[in-house]
Structure 1
Amino acid sequence: MRVRYVDDVKVLAQEEVVRLDSDRLQTLYEQLGDSGAEDVVCRAMEELAVRLSMTERLFRQDRYDEMRKAARSLTGIADQIGMNTLSRVACDVTHCIDARDPVALSATLSRLLRIGERSLTEIWDMQGVRV
Structure 2
Amino acid sequence: MVEQISVLHPRDAAYFDEEALSALSRDLGPSVAENILCRALEDIALRLTQIREDYGEGDQRALRKGVRSLVPIVEQIGLSGIAAIARDVLICVDRGEGVALAATLCRLLRSGEMAISCAEVGVDLSL
Alignment TM-score, normalising by the size of structure 1: 0.85
Structure 1: gaps of 5 or more residues: 1-9
Tell whether 2:103 aligns with 1:107: yes
Residue identity in the other structure for 1:102: G
Q: Larger RCO: Structure 1 or Structure 2 (Cα < 8 Å, ≥ 6 residues apart)? A: 2
Q: What CA distance in whole angstroms lies between the structure 2 residues aligned with 1:64 and 1:49?
A: 20
Pick the structure with greater CA Rg: 1
Distance 2:40 2:108 in 1: 16
CA contact (8 A) 2:92 2:100 kept: yes
| Structure 1 segments (4+ residues) deviating >6 Å | none
For residues 126 and 78 of structure 2, the distance between their equivalents in structure 1, rounded to whole angstroms, comes to: 15
> What percent of counterpart residues are identical?
35
Provide the C-alpha distance between the structure 2 equivalents of 1:41 and 1:107, rounded to a whole number of angstroms. Answer: 28
* Corresponding residue of 1:116: 112
Cα RMSD, aligned residues only: 2.0
Residue deviations 1:56-78 (CA, integer Å, cap 9, x gap) = 11001010111101001111100
Given that 1:86 and 1:119 are in contact with CA atoms closer than 8 Å, whether structure 2 keeps it comes out as: no
Following the alignment from structure 2 to structure 1, what is the Cα–Cα distance between the partners of residues 17 and 49? 23
Structure 2 residue 51 is the aligned partner of structure 1 residue 55: yes
Q: What TM-score do the two structures reach when normalised by structure 2?
A: 0.87
